[in-house]
Amino acid sequence: MEWPRKGAVSPPLAQPCTLDTCILYNHGMANPRYAHNAGAVFKLQYHLVWCPKYRRPVLVGDVAARLKMLLAEKAAEMGATLHAMEVMPDHVHLFVETDPTRAPAHIAAQFKGYTSRVLRQEFGSLRSRLPTLWSRSYFASTVGHVSAATVQRYIETQWERA
């Protein structure tokens, strides 16, 4: 199957909608809800949360402002989109979208590693108060516009469409 390009014509509406045509076409134009690369059509969004070591409330004032700038820089460097970000005194929330080449564990590690290194260099109080800036753990959850029940129903009814 050829990926949609400018001027691509959608399949005739009289044909039943398959997964491929539903994803790729939206009444004659590429579906803007999805991104694509050479081999995949995707929309991968994650909710990531992590905390400072010992859940210390150190993400305040200048540290919080600098952390927000660093997270935005790292997202741009990775080619990720930050849809939302909130820095609380004792934890960070991100709503990030990326491509399938980056696993959630890799994304969290990149954000945590980069921000820890830079913040600890710039703010001596973080070095003296904590052995490391971030705890080893994090929370990751997928975010989607299709419910799990919808996907399950679609998979279970495949033989009906054959």
Residues classed as catalytic: 154
| Residue spans of alpha helices (H) in the chain | 19-24, 61-78, 104-122, 124-129, 148-156, 158-161
Q: In what helix (H) or strand (E) does residue 96 lie, and over which residues does it extend?
A: strand 91-98
DSSP of 55-71, one letter per residue? G-----HHHHHHHHHHH
Q: In what helix (H) or strand (E) does residue 86 lie, and over which residues does it extend?
A: strand 81-88
